Structure formats: C-alpha cells, structure tokens
Amino acid sequence: MRGINLPATQGTSNAGNFLPGVYPFDYSAADLDKARQKGFDALRLPVNVSTADAPAALGSIRAYFDSFGGQGLLCFFEESSDPQAAPHGSGCADVAAASATWMKAHAAFSDTGVLYEIFNEPFGYKMAEEYLHNMLLILHYAQLPVGRCVLDGFGYADDVQVLHRLGWQGYLAYHFYPNWLPEGQRTEQDYARKVSQDLAGIQDRTLITEFGAGLDLSDDQKAGREPSEDAQCLRGLAAAVRQLPSLQGAFHWHGWDNGDSYDFWGPGNQLGADLVLAVLDGCGTSKPRPSTTAAEPLALFRKEEMTYLLLLSDRRFPQMPDWGWTFERIACYCWPEADASLAETVPVQCWRKGELACYCLADSGPDPPGPGFTKECLAFRALPAACDLPNTAVVHEWRKEELTYYSREDWEGYGRLPSWGWTYHGAVFRVPAA
C-alpha cells in the first residue's frame, strides 16, 4: 500500500488527533482526487471514543475509505485529558473504552478491507508484556477478527521485534522519524541500516503506518550536497524500503494541507515531497490480505512456575489476572475447540491437579498424564505432532517434576530451558508456523 495519513483537521498535525471530542475532517472530494493523482492508493485515518459515538462522523470516515476502494487503516487515538501538559495522552490504553470504540468501529467497517490499528504509539507502558496483554484484551472484548488487527510496535511504534518475540503473528505497525537516531548518527546509511535491522525477518507483515520529516528542503539538501537530517532520513528510508520487497506498505505523515513543514502539499515542501514519493515507489502495489484462518493466539499464563494455556476467545481470558495468573507471551496459535473446519485438527485435552495443568491430545487415551490429574476440558484444537502439513511447527512439552512448560523451538528462551531445571518430555502437537 502507498498510503497517506489524513489527520483530524484541528489543532496541529502533531497533536490534533489527541484533542478530545468528535473529529472534524475537512477534506473535499478534490483533496482526495489530488491524493490519488499523486499515486496514493490507501488512507490511514484516526478514530477516538467520541468519534465512534457519533454515527455521522463514522459515516464520513467510511466515505473516505470507500473513495479509496476500502483500502487502508483505521487507527485508535486516545483523547488526552490534559492537552497542554500531555498533548499525546498517556500512551496507555483504557481497555474498556478502546474495546467499546472498536466494537462500534467494526460494526461500521466489517464489510470493508480496512485494517484495524488497535492503539497508536503505546509509549506509556513499562513492559511489552503488559502492552501486548492489553491489546489482546481489546481484541477479546471487541470480538475483532485477529487477521485484520495491526499492533503498533512498543514505545513510539519503533520496536516491532519485541512483539514478534512475544509470539504475535499478525500485522505490525512501525513508525519512522528523523529523531529515531541520536545526533551524530543521522546519515542516510545509518537510517537505512536502522530500518533494515528493525524489520529484519518480519517485513512481510509490517506496515510503516507513519513516516515523515521536514519537507521544506533546498535542491542541495534533497540531493545530499548540503546537510539535512530530514532529507537523510527520507533518503535512508527509501534505500531500505527498496531492499524490503515484501513490506506491506507505507503511509506518509501527513496529507492535511495546513502549511506546516511535514505537509505533503505545502508550496515550499515539494522537493521533500519528491523524497516521500521515492519511499512509496519502493513499496510496490501489493495489498495486505487479512488472514482468514480460524487459528487464534494461545496465551501462556504463569503463576510462579505453573503454566496455563488459554485461547484469546475463551471467556476466562480477562479473568486470569484476578485469579493470580500473569500473562507471559503467546505460546502459539491454535484453533477453537468448536472449530473443525481443518479436517486434520484434533482436540487437545486439559488435565488439572489443583492448579497444575497438562495438555494431551484427546485421542491419546483415557489415562491421566500423572497421578491425581483429572480432566478439566477440551481446551483447543491442534494438529497431531506427527502431521506433515507444510508451514507448521511443533510445540514441545518440558517438565519439572509435575510442572509443565510448552514452547516452539523458535522461542528465544527454548535453548535455556535445561539450565532453568526443565527436562524435555516430548513433542505434543503441531500448530501454524506463522
């Protein structure tokens, strides 16, 4: 996707999306035509709690997307409670409010190809695990299709790799600006290297949902003959994007013709706008295709060294912290127990002994996995470990006396399990690889 951000037309382009109240969008049909003529084929538009509560405002957003063939992203922005002191809000999601907003937004956009960027720039979280858990709670409460959801990288959407390490297999949103590198390192080569490193191995499910820089450049700055960190940033990003052929798209910040230095349309910004187009030229014309698989995240919760596996859609998912369990990561993706659409899947039985849990294929026999274990429920569906379907991965069981731990081999801590006192027990089931 070759996209452009259309912020709410209020305040400044930097902070207007965080102002409380229903968003104004003063974009005309001529404005949209002008964007299409420049080669933009997708939009990124904001939504907040107040706007989702206003059917007419949601209708305006829907009309903008429809004029671009339903292509782009709808992104949730929090409404700052103190725009002067905290112009970008807290950087942490109000899970209940965001969930209610996404439920209304999905009702309005369910029949489109619009992707859902769940929360913009989660810079207020101290731990990536807490952030991912909050996003999963929003997906659970709003009953969103996982395949259409996009999660911002940790911090200012600059660390997408940590979500990959925590098991998220869906779309990722990455942001890129000149100040992502410290002074003294803001060269075209360093910017290109940073993007390549940040997106290594995950480019095929990453969208750069914001990139921007000052566009008021001279000819010499644009060409690199005079120093300009803004020009170096855009040139470096363009160089990196050309080496990332499976990148899912990029969205320039921004397309509100308000005359600031990031404005694509500003009369003094056209040399910089040429560099923006150079970035987008590297994105190709492919469109993200939301996954239609019914597989969903299987969360791994911990209580001391005990583990419990739970599907995102399970009604108990939000209650786990109340019962003393802490979200650690997504162990893998599995199918709901009631979904037998893939003929090769089989039910997985959860056995319990007090709060201890053990998981076995339901057809492995009636005998418990150990003394004192009793059947709790059919927890989810997976593929037999011996299944040879392509693009799948084995989940292994490790034990420490009666404790169990479940992991794919590609989890970063897998090789350290023996040093932590765990003994390998065997392959249990197979799941989608990505």
pLDDT tens-digit map of 225-239: 999 999 999 999 999
Per-residue pLDDT, averaged over 201-214, amounts to 96
User: For 396, what's the count of Cα atoms within 13 Å in the CB-facing half-sphere?
Assistant: 15
Per-residue pLDDT, averaged over 314-330, amounts to 98
Q: Is 337 a residue whose pLDDT tops 90?
A: no
Give residue-wise pLDDT tens across range 213-225.
999 999 999 998 9
Q: Is 278 in contact with 223 (CB distance < 8 Å)?
A: no
Q: Is 250 a residue whose pLDDT tops 60?
A: yes
* pLDDT score of 338: 74
Round the CA-based radius of gyration of the chain to a whole number and report it: 23
How many angstroms separate the Cα of 69 from the Cα of each of 21, 42, 107, 254, 282? 28, 8, 18, 20, 21
Give the count of beta carbons closer than 10 Å to the beta carbon of residue 189. 12
**Distance between CA 409 and CA 270 in Å, rounded?**
50
Per-residue pLDDT, averaged over 341-350, amounts to 89
Locate 54 and state its tokens: 């206003």
Q: Percent of the chain beyond pLDDT 70?
A: 98
Domain edges within the chain: 2-281, 296-432
* pLDDT score of 368: 87
Sheet of 403-408: strand order equals 356-361, 346-353, 374-384, 423-432, 392-400, 403-408
Helix, strand and coil content of the chain, in percent to the nearest 5, comes to: 30, 25, 45
DSSP 347: E
Give residue-wise pLDDT tens across range 110-155.
999 999 999 999 999 999 999 999 999 999 999 999 999 999 999 9
Give residue-wise pLDDT tens across range 376-403.
999 999 999 999 889 999 999 999 999 9
* pLDDT score of 3: 97
Give residue-wise pLDDT tens across range 42-86.
999 999 999 999 999 999 999 999 999 999 999 999 999 999 999
Confidence of residue 286 (pLDDT cuts 50, 70, 90): low
**Domain 2-281's class?**
alpha beta
Give residue-wise pLDDT tens across range 143-194.
999 999 999 999 999 999 999 999 999 999 999 999 999 999 999 999 999 9
* pLDDT score of 385: 93
**Distance between CA 350 and CA 374 in Å, rounded?**
9
Confidence of residue 366 (pLDDT cuts 50, 70, 90): confident
**Distance between CA 200 and CA 169 in Å, rounded?**
14
Collapse the DSSP code of 236 into the 3-class scheme (helix H, G, I; strand E, B; otherwise coil) and give the result: helix
72-76/115-117 β-pairing:
parallel
Higher-pLDDT residue of 163 and 289 is: 163
Name every residue whose Cβ is closer than 8 Å to that of residue 126 and which is 6 or more positions away in sequence: none
Please list the residues that pair with 397 across neighbouring strands: 406, 426
Residue 108 — φ and ψ, nearest 5°?
-85, -25
Higher-pLDDT residue of 343 and 90 is: 90
* pLDDT score of 288: 74
* Crossing angle (nearest 10°) for helices 270-281 and 229-242: 20
Confidence of residue 364 (pLDDT cuts 50, 70, 90): confident
Helix (H) or strand (E) holding 60: helix 55-67
